[in-house]
Structure 1
Amino acid sequence: MRQGFDNEKYIELQAAHIRERINQFGGKLYLEFGGKLFDDYHAARVLPGFEPDTKLRMLQALADEAEIVIAINANDIERNKIRGDLGITYDEDVLRLVDAFNDRGFFVGSIVITQYRNQPNADQFRERLNALGLRTYLHYPIAGYPYDIDHIVSDEGYGKNDFIETSRPLVVVTAPGPGSGKMATCLSQLFNEHRHGITAGYAKFETFPIWNIPLDHPVNIAYEAATVDLDDVNAIDPFHLEAYGQTTVNYNRDIEIFPVLKAMLDSIQGESPYQSPTDMGVNMAGKAIVDDEAVRAAANREIVRRYFKAAEAARRMGTEAVDAAKVKLLMKKAHIDTDLIPSRAAALTRAAETGRAAGAIELHDGRVITGKSSELLGAAASVLINAMKAQAGIADETWVISNRALEPICSLRENQLNQRTPQLHPLEMLIALSTSSIDSPDAEKAISHLKELRGCDAHFSFILHEEDEQLLRTLGINVCCEPQFEQGRYYHA
């Protein structure tokens, strides 16, 4: 894959810039950390060369100076809000984050439960955290938030929140997802640090939109497509333009809230250190783009993927495809269409020629490999094994799965699990292939090339079963589906 982003340069620049901010505020900085920290696959797709754990690696350069505060909204605990990409609740994700930070040598100082109103599930979760030996704090709803500045920045506002005890120069405030209260936690801490006679600063880390590339750059458009359900819209930062005469990019929510945030900082610190939302950010990603053409091409593909993801979700739920329509407008803005990725045309052609469900995957060398459903394999399993054979240089007509490996799987499905459809799913196919590799050099060779499919684009002529789609995504394959069910099917779990 053509690389457009210098990962090591980014880590070096970003860590140095955060240290500058710590020094700017006298040695104490609260850093609101937005987006995915451990597994930012969106960034990896639109900035080829960026690794999914890059932001974590960057923080590891600051690990001795940093501690982690995790914020979670009590309302999200109460209604068991699910993190869509992982399929786990936000409270469970807090524990996952604690483990992940600890495993990498970070100090997790505390968990703060925001918007606390004596919610029963929040109380139970706090008891669970305390029993595990984790420090917990409570932050409360504030009447008039965010516009009644005098009340918010007072003993009856931020002053009622628990003061989170911290001991290191850099306090990274992160969360399982948006709406968790990260910014309010940072500002509450600034107020209470000031009451304790400690000078501290606030900054915001968001990878997207990238402030120092054009507004209509595909990377920034891809961010809009990724957050279409949140109604995020990129815009020129008018405050930065007025203050410095420089055109920069931010997004609507930060621009809209900035006057309020600036007023809060004026009230807390006497004078805000920032003249614009862009000032608050510490993102250096734009300075690590080394091949703009490669980055533009990758981001355009991501916009198309987001269209199919939105269209598929609407079809699954039987709802109006509003988000898909919004992304379609973004595709027009980027001057691209749904046929940008070659695997789509190949999948639809194969389906039309055979009258069966079909799919295709584009390998990194440009070859497009197709597959269709058969008596034995579903379309997803067929595409996957054909791609592995192509990568391994095994002839298409060579059968690499032994009957001895297939028979117990088929027997189990039919006689014990009572599965109606005979075709193997991708996971079952991989198990049969792995078992076959004990005696078959070809099977072993095919398995050894599986990891080379990471980052490839695949498209299917129908909506995949969720378990099949999730497996392909686990393998790192970018999956898109036509927004229609396999012919004659209504239930699609």
Structure 2
Amino acid sequence: MNKIGFDSKKYIEEQTRYISERVNDYDKLYLEFGGKLIGDKHAKRVLPGFDEDAKLKILQRLADKSEIVICVYAGDIERNKIRGDYGITYDMEVFRLIDEFREYGLLVNSVVITRYHGQPNTKLFINKLEKRDIKVYRHQSIDGYPSNIEMIVSEEGFGSNPYIETTRPIVVMTAPGGGSGKLATCLNQLYHENQMGRTAGYSKFETFPVWNVPLKHPLNMAYEAATVDLRDVNMIDNFHFEKYNEVAVNYNRDIEIFPVIKRIIEKITQKESVYQSPTDMGVNRVGFGIVDDEVVRAASKQEIIRRSFAIESDFKKGLLSEDVVYRMKILLDEAELTPTDRLSVQPARDYADECRKRFETNDTQAVIAFELNDGQIVTGRTSNLMDSSSAAILNSIKKLANVGDEIPLLSLTILETIQKTKSDVLHNRRPILNANEILIALAISAVTNPTAQLCYNKLSELEGVQAHSTVMLKKDDEQILRNLGIDITSDAQYPSENLYYI
């Protein structure tokens, strides 16, 4: 049984109250949402009990006085940047976010294209948005941003970018990912609001790092691991300590940019800022939702290991530089962790070694080990019939349903027919069945096979399972496992020497 370390209900109530108090100081509050507003898997992993849609539920409570602006950097559209957890490009993520917000009854004001200079793919994206009656604003980059304050706070700076027409007291700035221009858009709005004689404020809602837990708490170290490629480093907020004699944790980019933001706000408003530290600017109350520190520490340590595997794999794929790998190793050592502290790792590697000996081969063996929520380890390997993900899923649900290994869930004839269709009809050169195909076959079999139905009903119990693969999985297989709620890591090893048909 998974232990709970975080009280989401308490957190949502506390966070909603705190934001409501902050907005009372202004005619309008521009609230920059850092991290993921929907589906915050990182927070869910490091804070067992955290509702991954907690921010969304907070907004629902504020729905009558808030609206949402989505920022996206034109350069991310141009290079088809991918959101890793969903495997979709940022333009598609914007569409997904709009649909999700609308489904929850939240008002989407518009989409802002930041640092836009007529990029061709971005033009097409804008056209798609406007054809669906979604308002789009185009903001160009400002020379000297963020250091040339005289230029920035002028008609040639913020004044050259259009004002976003808003009607509600809380304007939430969100984005598909980091570097999308949320802060600049908020400051741009402050400039225009003040030009129109209105009192507007800025705050930041960033879940991590958690300001009121220790600097080297595994929870904050897990945030460093999650952003190691961005060179984010947690630090003591020296501005906060000097002003209040209180230790607060923030991260380097926010601390470094704080004096600049403070001066920009003071230049816009022509009065001293109410904020004396980057921690002051935040409205983060997540630390107050922790109810079992030991559970959070354990989960956060596992997240550090999980991130280390992801970094190694991305380096193997050529997506990261070697210095990122070194920084991750230093972080792992600092936390006194090893890869095999993840309990599914060694069983997967051991079974792969066993398969090599059994088949008398030195070839790579694709094996996955699942650590079920009751602590049992279940393995699966790639065969001529199905891949390791499929085998591990079937073996796990049979174990959960107390169905013997010798009892087949799926008809071999049906599976071979699917394979024949893939190879002979669809001309697939790799007809081994993947997890998606196996799950469809299981769903169909469950209609007439009571044993298959019994196992099918156990799929929901795979939520929260920890898994490790001895080879890097294809994106489709990773996504299926994520959709089942399985946290998967892998060794930085390709399943074969093939470059395309893997």
What TM-score do the two structures reach when normalised by structure 2?
0.94
1:280 counterpart residue number: 281
Matched, 1:351 2:352: yes
Unpaired runs of 5+ residues, structure 1, are none
2:304 counterpart residue number: 303
Q: How far apart are the structure 2 equivalents of 1:109 and 1:74? A: 19
Q: How far apart are the structure 1 equivalents of 2:394 and 2:456? A: 9
1:481 aligned residue (483, 486, 490): 490
Flag the 1:319–1:8 CA change in 2: closer, same or farther, 3 A.
closer
Flag the 1:414–1:109 CA change in 2: closer, same or farther, 3 A.
closer
1:424 counterpart residue number: 433
Flag the 1:488–1:6 CA change in 2: closer, same or farther, 3 A.
same
What letter is aligned with 1:2?
A: K
TM-superposed CA distance for 1:490, in Å, is 4.8
User: Please, which moves more after superposition, 361-370 or 371-380?
Assistant: 371-380
User: Please, which moves more after superposition, 411-420 or 102-111?
Assistant: 411-420
Q: How far apart are the structure 2 equivalents of 1:407 and 1:455? A: 32
Matched, 1:21 2:30: no
User: Please, which moves more after superposition, 83-92 or 179-188?
Assistant: 83-92
2:446 counterpart residue number: 437
TM-superposed CA distance for 1:476, in Å, is 1.3
TM-superposed CA distance for 1:74, in Å, is 2.6
Q: How far apart are the structure 1 equivalents of 2:354 and 2:338? A: 23
Aligned length: 492
Q: How far apart are the structure 1 equivalents of 2:133 and 2:320? A: 44
What letter is aligned with 1:452?
A: E
Flag the 1:488–1:107 CA change in 2: closer, same or farther, 3 A.
closer
Deviations 1:431-473, CA, capped at 9 Å, x for gaps: 2222222222111111110111111111112222332222112
Q: How far apart are the structure 2 equivalents of 1:377 and 1:277? A: 52
1:376 aligned residue (370, 385, 390): 385
Deviations 1:6-61, CA, capped at 9 Å, x for gaps: 01001100100000110123x42100111111111111111111122111011111
C-alpha contact 2:429 2:501 (8 A) present in aligned 1: no
Matched, 1:166 2:175: no
Matched, 1:324 2:325: yes
2:461 counterpart residue number: 452
What letter is aligned with 1:273?
A: V
1:210 counterpart residue number: 210
Matched, 1:398 2:407: yes
What letter is aligned with 1:447?
A: Y
What letter is aligned with 1:153?
A: V
C-alpha contact 2:86 2:479 (8 A) present in aligned 1: no
TM-superposed CA distance for 1:420, in Å, is 4.0
User: Please, which moves more after superposition, 238-247 or 77-86?
Assistant: 77-86
C-alpha contact 2:67 2:106 (8 A) present in aligned 1: yes
Instruction: Determine helix, strand or coil for the equivalent of 1:37.
Output: coil
User: Please, which moves more after superposition, 98-107 or 424-433?
Assistant: 424-433
What TM-score do the two structures reach when normalised by structure 1?
0.95
Matched, 1:464 2:473: yes
Flag the 1:326–1:19 CA change in 2: closer, same or farther, 3 A.
same
What letter is aligned with 1:50?
A: F
Flag the 1:249–1:429 CA change in 2: closer, same or farther, 3 A.
same
TM-superposed CA distance for 1:373, in Å, is 2.7
TM-superposed CA distance for 1:186, in Å, is 0.7
TM-superposed CA distance for 1:421, in Å, is 4.3
2:338 counterpart residue number: 337
Instruction: Determine helix, strand or coil for the equivalent of 2:394.
Output: helix
Instruction: Determine helix, strand or coil for the equivalent of 1:68.
Output: strand
Q: How far apart are the structure 1 equivalents of 2:475 and 2:99? A: 27
Deviations 1:176-207, CA, capped at 9 Å, x for gaps: 22111111111111111111111011000111
C-alpha contact 1:405 1:433 (8 A) present in aligned 2: no
2:138 counterpart residue number: 138
1:97 counterpart residue number: 97
TM-superposed CA distance for 1:491, in Å, is 4.0
Matches within 5 A, 1:284-295: 284-295=285-296
C-alpha contact 1:308 1:324 (8 A) present in aligned 2: no
Q: What RMSD over aligned residues (CA atoms) do the two structures have, in Å?
A: 1.8
Flag the 1:373–1:71 CA change in 2: closer, same or farther, 3 A.
closer
C-alpha contact 1:311 1:321 (8 A) present in aligned 2: no
Unpaired runs of 5+ residues, structure 2, are 357-364
Query: What percent identity do the matched residue pairs reach?
Result: 50
1:84 counterpart residue number: 84
Q: How far apart are the structure 2 equivalents of 1:318 and 1:135? A: 34
Deviations 1:293-321, CA, capped at 9 Å, x for gaps: 11111111111111111111222338754
Flag the 1:315–1:203 CA change in 2: closer, same or farther, 3 A.
same
